[in-house]
Amino acid sequence: MAPSIRLSPAARSLFDEPLAIAVRGLGPRQQVTLRTSLRDETGQLFQASAYYQAGDDGELDLARCPALPGGSFSGLEPMGLLWALQPQKPFWRLVKRDVQSPFLLQLEVFEGHGERPGRLLAQAQHERAFLRDGVRRVPVREGRIRATLFLPPGEDTFPGIIDIHGLGGGLFEHRASLLANHGFATLALAYYQFEDLPQKPNKLHLEYFEEAVNYMLQHPQVKGPGVGLLGFSKGGEVSLAMAAFLKNIMAVASLNGSAVVLAIPLSYKDKTIPALTLYEHKAKVINSKILDYSDVTDDPFQAPGNQSLIPLDKAEAQLLFIVGQDDHIIKNEYYATEVCKLLQAQGKENFQILSYPGTGHCIDPPFFPLYPIGSHPVFHKHAVLGGELRAYSKAQVHAWSQIQAFFKKHL
């Protein structure tokens, strides 16, 4: 019997779903190397590999067999070959622009262990998709809004969520599309550097985001009376500000979003919150190419920095702060803790912090590769974003399930 790879689901799974991997037909206790490869939409290659030994019966099930030391990871990690994928090009991030097409995952089994793989014994392909069958993708160009709405299958009404990305501009749909698979009507909202939106805004006006809230609440398939907000980085900060100033916000999950206005001031009607000053000269040089910007601001909880605090005491929404303890872009664990102390002192109980060790600035849905060093969103130089492979992979899975449970409860 020739070796073969067995996958479950067999041909296609959602990107945030587990994939069961097994190899049949090996020799008793045979040593093999398993390798996964995936190319992004620009053709850049991501790979991971691990060393294994088959059982006495020639079976190798990644749910039961630990990886041996020497590969991309070791230990019992059934999904290691997916979460350990790393770019061959340094500082490259896995991004999904077109959620209507899947990523194609290649799996290979080679004889033996070592740097240079032996003979190829088996191979398989698997699609990692972003849209479940029946989920509808609807481009939205209403008034000023530039967005994409994802609707779960069926004619029912669904809890509505607005997904807001971080600095960098453009329209990112991967998180919104995956959330729609779980039963949420999700609007991926662009707010600059996309189509006719401002290229380089010197201020963000919450009226634009209010328009998106009203669009969602008027949609026949969005269940009211309010919406949820899921924001990452600057998008998390915007989401928290929306909860402080706008009506009909029921729940906010902020992924390393600051409770302090950074980089671009925010305004609503006649009120402007100035951005906390970032001092580039305070960056620490890690090596000739990489900088650490974790200490480049004044303390926002002391004057004059406190003028940049978002007045979250005015928010009636439930607030979920999801923070990486190893975030080197914003001291989010400190910011979230201090803000929640202020809320507690005012008798508020509408907040919760999920704090993850070994997790940096980027917290993506499950199985996106770790992105520990990348371009700084303001200074555009290579910066430490933080994070450690195994801890981050666990944080992704846990945070994603908590986000869904949070929105199911409060929407």
Active site residue 113: no
Active site residue 361: yes
pLDDT > 90? residue 287: no
Query: What is the pLDDT at residue 71?
Result: 96
Structure tokens at 225: 């009376």
Query: What is the pLDDT at residue 311?
Result: 97
Residue 163 phi, psi (nearest 5): -105, 120
User: For residue range 298-356, what is the model confidence (pLDDT) as tens digits?
Assistant: 999 998 889 999 999 999 999 999 999 999 999 999 999 999 999 999 999 999 999 99
| Set 294, 327, 376, 382: catalytic member | 327
Least confident of 13-17, 230-234, 308-312, 380-384: 380-384
Query: What is the pLDDT at residue 145?
Result: 98
pLDDT > 90? residue 162: yes
pLDDT > 90? residue 158: yes
Query: What is the pLDDT at residue 358?
Result: 98
Rounded mean pLDDT of 166-191?
97
Residue 281: how many other CB atoms lie within 10 Å:
5
**Rounded Cα distance, 128 and 105, in Å:** 7
Residue 274 phi, psi (nearest 5): -70, 155
Active site residue 327: yes
Query: What is the pLDDT at residue 14?
Result: 98
Query: What is the pLDDT at residue 292?
Result: 94
Share of the chain above pLDDT 90, in %: 96
Residue 78 phi, psi (nearest 5): -55, -30
| Set 328, 361, 376, 382: catalytic member | 361
| Set 72, 177, 233, 258: catalytic member | 233
What are the Cα distances from residue 210, in Å, to 205, 217, 234, 252, 408?
9, 11, 17, 14, 22
Query: What is the pLDDT at residue 117?
Result: 83
Instruction: Please give the model's pTM, rounded to 2 decimal places.
Output: 0.97
Rounded mean pLDDT of 81-87?
98
Strand extents, DSSP E, 79-195: 86-87, 103-111, 120-129, 136-142, 145-151, 158-164, 185-189
User: 377 pLDDT band (50/70/90 cuts)?
Assistant: confident
Domains of the chain: 4-129 (2.60.40.2240), 136-410 (3.40.50.1820)
User: 140 pLDDT band (50/70/90 cuts)?
Assistant: very high
pLDDT > 90? residue 114: no
Strand extents, DSSP E, 348-404: 351-356, 373-375, 382-384
